[in-house]
A and B are shown apart, each in its own frame.
Chain A
Amino acid sequence: QSALTQPASVSGSPGQSITISCTGANSDFGAYNYVSWYQQHPGEAPKLIIYEVSNRPSGVPDRFSGSKSGNTASLTISGLQAEDEADYYCSSYITSAVFGGGTKLTVL
Protein backbone atom coordinates (compact mmCIF):
# COMPACT_ATOMS: atom_id res chain seq x y z
CA GLN A 1 0.00 0.00 0.00
CA SER A 2 1.10 3.55 -0.59
CA ALA A 3 2.02 6.08 2.04
CA LEU A 4 -0.38 8.45 3.73
CA THR A 5 0.62 12.10 4.03
CA GLN A 6 -0.10 14.17 7.13
CA PRO A 7 1.10 17.65 8.13
CA ALA A 8 4.03 17.45 10.53
CA SER A 9 2.43 19.77 13.05
CA VAL A 10 -0.69 21.71 13.89
CA SER A 11 -1.52 23.94 16.81
CA GLY A 12 -4.49 25.58 18.43
CA SER A 13 -5.58 27.34 21.58
CA PRO A 14 -7.79 25.79 24.24
CA GLY A 15 -11.41 25.81 23.16
CA GLN A 16 -10.61 26.14 19.46
CA SER A 17 -11.04 23.50 16.77
CA ILE A 18 -8.29 22.00 14.65
CA THR A 19 -8.30 19.65 11.69
CA ILE A 20 -5.58 17.20 10.70
CA SER A 21 -5.57 15.97 7.12
CA CYS A 22 -4.44 12.61 5.79
CA THR A 23 -4.01 12.19 2.05
CA GLY A 24 -3.70 8.86 0.34
CA ALA A 25 -1.50 8.54 -2.73
CA ASN A 26 -3.82 6.41 -4.83
CA SER A 27 -7.44 5.63 -5.53
CA ASP A 28 -7.49 2.67 -3.12
CA PHE A 29 -7.60 5.08 -0.22
CA GLY A 30 -10.60 6.88 -1.67
CA ALA A 31 -12.44 3.68 -2.46
CA TYR A 32 -12.36 2.18 1.02
CA ASN A 33 -13.66 3.45 4.34
CA TYR A 34 -11.13 1.66 6.50
CA VAL A 35 -9.52 4.80 7.85
CA SER A 36 -8.52 4.87 11.50
CA TRP A 37 -6.94 7.53 13.69
CA TYR A 38 -4.67 6.97 16.67
CA GLN A 39 -3.61 9.30 19.47
CA GLN A 40 -0.22 8.83 21.10
CA HIS A 41 1.02 10.71 24.13
CA PRO A 42 4.79 10.75 24.78
CA GLY A 43 6.05 7.48 26.18
CA GLU A 44 2.70 5.76 25.77
CA ALA A 45 1.22 3.25 23.36
CA PRO A 46 -1.09 4.51 20.60
CA LYS A 47 -4.80 4.65 21.31
CA LEU A 48 -7.53 4.13 18.73
CA ILE A 49 -9.81 7.19 18.59
CA ILE A 50 -11.57 6.85 15.22
CA TYR A 51 -12.30 3.84 13.00
CA GLU A 52 -14.11 3.46 9.68
CA VAL A 53 -13.53 7.14 8.90
CA SER A 54 -15.90 8.56 11.50
CA ASN A 55 -16.78 6.04 14.22
CA ARG A 56 -15.58 6.55 17.78
CA PRO A 57 -14.78 3.64 20.10
CA SER A 58 -16.53 3.64 23.42
CA GLY A 59 -15.02 6.17 25.80
CA VAL A 60 -13.64 8.55 23.18
CA PRO A 61 -15.13 12.04 23.63
CA ASP A 62 -17.39 13.34 20.88
CA ARG A 63 -15.01 16.27 20.51
CA PHE A 64 -13.13 13.93 18.19
CA SER A 65 -14.68 13.45 14.75
CA GLY A 66 -13.56 12.08 11.43
CA SER A 67 -14.52 12.48 7.81
CA LYS A 68 -13.28 11.67 4.31
CA SER A 69 -13.62 13.27 0.92
CA GLY A 70 -12.02 11.62 -2.05
CA ASN A 71 -8.42 10.75 -1.22
CA THR A 72 -8.26 12.89 1.92
CA ALA A 73 -9.41 11.93 5.38
CA SER A 74 -9.62 14.41 8.23
CA LEU A 75 -9.61 14.34 11.99
CA THR A 76 -11.25 17.29 13.72
CA ILE A 77 -10.86 18.03 17.41
CA SER A 78 -13.25 20.63 18.71
CA GLY A 79 -13.08 22.39 22.05
CA LEU A 80 -9.35 21.75 22.34
CA GLN A 81 -8.10 20.77 25.75
CA ALA A 82 -4.58 20.66 27.12
CA GLU A 83 -4.67 16.86 27.31
CA ASP A 84 -5.26 16.68 23.54
CA GLU A 85 -1.63 17.64 23.00
CA ALA A 86 -0.21 14.48 21.44
CA ASP A 87 0.85 12.87 18.19
CA TYR A 88 -1.92 11.74 15.85
CA TYR A 89 -1.62 9.07 13.19
CA CYS A 90 -4.01 8.17 10.42
CA SER A 91 -4.07 4.64 9.08
CA SER A 92 -5.72 2.86 6.21
CA TYR A 93 -6.36 -0.84 5.78
CA ILE A 94 -6.84 -2.94 2.69
CA THR A 95 -5.03 -6.24 3.21
CA SER A 96 -2.77 -4.79 5.89
CA ALA A 97 -2.37 -1.50 7.69
CA VAL A 98 -0.33 1.50 6.65
CA PHE A 99 0.23 4.58 8.80
CA GLY A 100 0.67 8.20 7.99
CA GLY A 101 3.80 9.98 9.16
CA GLY A 102 2.06 11.50 12.16
CA THR A 103 1.06 15.00 13.20
CA LYS A 104 2.19 16.69 16.40
CA LEU A 105 -0.63 18.69 17.94
CA THR A 106 0.43 21.55 20.20
CA VAL A 107 -2.15 23.19 22.44
CA LEU A 108 -0.95 26.75 22.91
Chain B
Amino acid sequence: EVQLVESGGGLVQPGGSLRLSCAASGFTFRNYYMNWVRQAPGKGLEWVANIKQDGSEKSFVDSVKGRFTISRDNAKNSLYLQMSSLRAEDTAVYYCARDRWELRATHYYYCGMDVWGQGTTVTVSS
Protein backbone atom coordinates (compact mmCIF):
# COMPACT_ATOMS: atom_id res chain seq x y z
CA GLU B 1 0.00 0.00 0.00
CA VAL B 2 1.29 3.44 -0.94
CA GLN B 3 1.57 5.40 2.29
CA LEU B 4 3.03 8.50 3.90
CA VAL B 5 3.18 8.78 7.68
CA GLU B 6 4.17 12.03 9.38
CA SER B 7 5.53 12.34 12.89
CA GLY B 8 7.33 14.80 15.12
CA GLY B 9 4.61 17.35 15.76
CA GLY B 10 3.93 18.80 19.17
CA LEU B 11 3.77 21.87 21.36
CA VAL B 12 6.72 24.25 21.11
CA GLN B 13 7.35 27.71 22.46
CA PRO B 14 7.74 30.71 20.16
CA GLY B 15 11.30 30.87 18.93
CA GLY B 16 11.76 27.15 19.37
CA SER B 17 12.59 24.40 16.92
CA LEU B 18 10.98 21.18 15.77
CA ARG B 19 11.80 18.50 13.22
CA LEU B 20 9.04 16.76 11.33
CA SER B 21 9.50 13.42 9.62
CA CYS B 22 7.56 11.68 6.89
CA ALA B 23 8.04 7.96 6.32
CA ALA B 24 7.19 6.69 2.86
CA SER B 25 6.30 3.13 1.92
CA GLY B 26 4.78 1.22 -0.96
CA PHE B 27 6.53 3.16 -3.73
CA THR B 28 10.02 4.07 -4.92
CA PHE B 29 10.54 7.16 -2.81
CA ARG B 30 13.73 8.32 -4.54
CA ASN B 31 11.81 8.79 -7.82
CA TYR B 32 9.48 11.52 -6.54
CA TYR B 33 9.50 15.20 -5.75
CA MET B 34 8.08 15.66 -2.26
CA ASN B 35 6.26 18.49 -0.52
CA TRP B 36 5.24 19.81 2.85
CA VAL B 37 1.83 21.47 2.94
CA ARG B 38 0.28 22.98 6.06
CA GLN B 39 -3.18 23.95 7.23
CA ALA B 40 -3.71 26.38 10.09
CA PRO B 41 -6.73 25.72 12.31
CA GLY B 42 -9.90 26.51 10.39
CA LYS B 43 -7.91 27.79 7.41
CA GLY B 44 -6.99 26.60 3.93
CA LEU B 45 -4.06 24.71 2.55
CA GLU B 46 -0.68 26.41 2.19
CA TRP B 47 2.23 24.90 0.30
CA VAL B 48 5.36 25.20 2.45
CA ALA B 49 8.29 23.56 0.67
CA ASN B 50 9.34 20.98 -1.86
CA ILE B 51 12.46 19.01 -2.68
CA LYS B 52 13.71 17.32 -5.82
CA GLN B 53 14.23 13.59 -6.02
CA ASP B 54 17.97 13.78 -5.26
CA GLY B 55 17.68 16.69 -2.84
CA SER B 56 19.58 19.05 -5.14
CA GLU B 57 16.76 21.56 -5.52
CA LYS B 58 14.53 22.98 -2.79
CA SER B 59 11.89 25.69 -2.73
CA PHE B 60 10.10 27.44 0.11
CA VAL B 61 7.14 29.73 0.58
CA ASP B 62 8.37 33.23 1.44
CA SER B 63 7.02 33.15 4.99
CA VAL B 64 9.35 30.31 6.04
CA LYS B 65 12.49 31.13 4.07
CA GLY B 66 15.51 31.26 6.33
CA ARG B 67 13.65 29.48 9.15
CA PHE B 68 12.66 26.09 7.68
CA THR B 69 14.78 23.58 5.83
CA ILE B 70 13.63 20.54 3.90
CA SER B 71 15.69 17.43 3.41
CA ARG B 72 15.34 13.77 2.54
CA ASP B 73 17.11 10.48 3.07
CA ASN B 74 16.33 8.24 0.13
CA ALA B 75 18.05 5.28 1.81
CA LYS B 76 15.57 5.57 4.66
CA ASN B 77 12.58 6.54 2.47
CA SER B 78 12.12 9.60 4.62
CA LEU B 79 11.35 13.29 4.21
CA TYR B 80 12.09 15.91 6.86
CA LEU B 81 11.16 19.47 7.72
CA GLN B 82 13.43 21.24 10.18
CA MET B 83 11.61 24.23 11.62
CA SER B 84 13.31 26.91 13.68
CA SER B 85 12.45 30.37 15.00
CA LEU B 86 8.88 29.16 15.18
CA ARG B 87 6.05 31.67 15.41
CA ALA B 88 2.44 31.42 16.48
CA GLU B 89 1.43 31.68 12.83
CA ASP B 90 3.29 28.43 12.10
CA THR B 91 0.66 26.58 14.15
CA ALA B 92 -0.92 24.10 11.74
CA VAL B 93 -1.36 20.54 10.66
CA TYR B 94 1.62 19.68 8.48
CA TYR B 95 1.13 17.20 5.66
CA CYS B 96 3.73 15.59 3.47
CA ALA B 97 2.58 14.96 -0.08
CA ARG B 98 4.00 13.31 -3.16
CA ASP B 99 4.19 15.06 -6.53
CA ARG B 100 3.17 12.96 -9.50
CA TRP B 101 4.82 13.64 -12.83
CA GLU B 102 3.94 11.70 -15.96
CA LEU B 103 6.32 11.11 -18.86
CA ARG B 104 4.64 11.48 -22.24
CA ALA B 105 6.86 11.28 -25.31
CA THR B 106 9.87 13.37 -24.28
CA HIS B 107 8.29 15.63 -21.66
CA TYR B 108 7.20 15.34 -18.07
CA TYR B 109 3.81 16.73 -17.09
CA TYR B 110 2.72 17.72 -13.60
CA CYS B 111 -0.21 15.67 -12.35
CA GLY B 112 -0.80 17.03 -8.87
CA MET B 113 -0.07 15.81 -5.36
CA ASP B 114 -1.46 12.33 -5.52
CA VAL B 115 -0.50 10.84 -2.15
CA TRP B 116 -0.88 12.58 1.21
CA GLY B 117 -0.06 11.63 4.75
CA GLN B 118 -2.53 11.98 7.61
CA GLY B 119 -0.74 15.04 8.98
CA THR B 120 1.05 15.96 12.20
CA THR B 121 0.01 18.87 14.38
CA VAL B 122 2.41 21.65 15.34
CA THR B 123 1.32 24.13 17.99
CA VAL B 124 3.48 27.15 18.71
CA SER B 125 2.45 28.70 21.99
CA SER B 126 3.87 29.82 25.30
Interface residues of A (CB under 8 A from B): 34, 36, 38, 40, 45-48, 50-52, 55, 57, 87, 89, 91, 93, 95-102
Contacts and interface: CB of A to CB of B under 8 A. Distances in A.
A39 B45 CA distance: 11
Contact of B114 (A57, A91, A96): A57
B44 A51 contact: no
Contact of B95 (A36, A46, A95): A46
Given A48-B112, A97-B35, A102 B44 contact: yes
Given A46-B95, A51-B111, A99-B46, 12 more contacts: A36-B113, A45-B116, A45-B119, A46-B113, A48-B114, A50-B112, A91-B112, A96-B50, A98-B47, A99-B37, A99-B47, A100-B44
28 contacts: A34-B110, A36-B111, A36-B112, A36-B113, A38-B45, A38-B112, A38-B113, A45-B118, A46-B95, A48-B112, A51-B100, A51-B111, A51-B112, A51-B114, A52-B111, A55-B111, A87-B44, A89-B44, A91-B112, A95-B59, A96-B50, A96-B59, A97-B35, A97-B37, A99-B37, A99-B44, A99-B46, A102-B44
Instruction: Name the prevailing secondary structure of the A interface residues.
Output: strand
